Amino acid sequence: MKHLLFALMAACALSCAQAQLGKEYDIRPATTAGAAPSAVKWQDANDAVLAASTTPEALAPYLAHPKAAAALLARVKKAYETDPLAATQIAAISQLVMREDRPQAPAERELWAGALLKAARESQETYRTLLFLDQLRWCGKADQAAAVRRLGETAKDNAVKAFAAMVARELDAAGKR
C-alpha cells in the first residue's frame, strides 16, 4: 500500500510540513522546500497512522451514509491545504469500493461515486473539483458520464472543462467494456 499512496502523499506532504513548521515557512509554488520533509520521510513518520486509518474497518463509516462520505470529502481544501491523511483516506476508499472480493463493494461504489460527483458539482474551487473528478476516474460509473460532461461544459475554469471531458470519455469507455 505504501507505494500506491506515494504519489498522493507527494502532493500533500508539504501541506503537513507547513503545519508542523509554522506560518514562517512558505510552501507556495515557486518557493524552495529545502526544510520540508520529503513525501517519503513524511509517510515513513506517519506509517502507523496511515495504515490504521486506511483499513476497510476504518473506512467503513464513510461508506455507511452519503452524509458521512460528504463529511470526509469536505475535508478537501484548496491546493497545499488538504490534510494528507484525509487525501489518503479518500484515495483508499476509491480503491476499496472497486475490490471484487468485497460483496458490499457495488453498493459502496454507488454511494461513494455519487458523493464524489455531488462534491464536484458543488465545489467552487478548482483544486477540489479536480481532485473529486480524478477519484471518479477510478471508481465512477458509466451512468455518471453525462453528468460529468455537463459539469465540464458549465465550468468556468478551463482545467475543469478539459479534465471533466476526459473523465466523461473514460467513464463512457469503461461502460462499453
In the predicted model, residues of the chain with pLDDT beneath 70 are: 1-37, 177
Q: Which three cell numbers stand for residue 105?
A: 463493494
Each residue's pLDDT tens digit, 78-119: 988 888 899 999 999 999 999 999 999 999 999 999 999 999
Cα gap 135→151, rounded to integer Å: 15
What is the domain range of residue 59? Answer: 2-175
Q: Which three cell numbers stand for residue 2?
A: 505504501
pTM of the complete model: 0.79
The count of domains in the chain is 1
Cα gap 158→165, rounded to integer Å: 11
Q: Which three cell numbers stand for residue 85?
A: 491523511
The pLDDT of residue 81 = 87
Cα gap 79→126, rounded to integer Å: 9
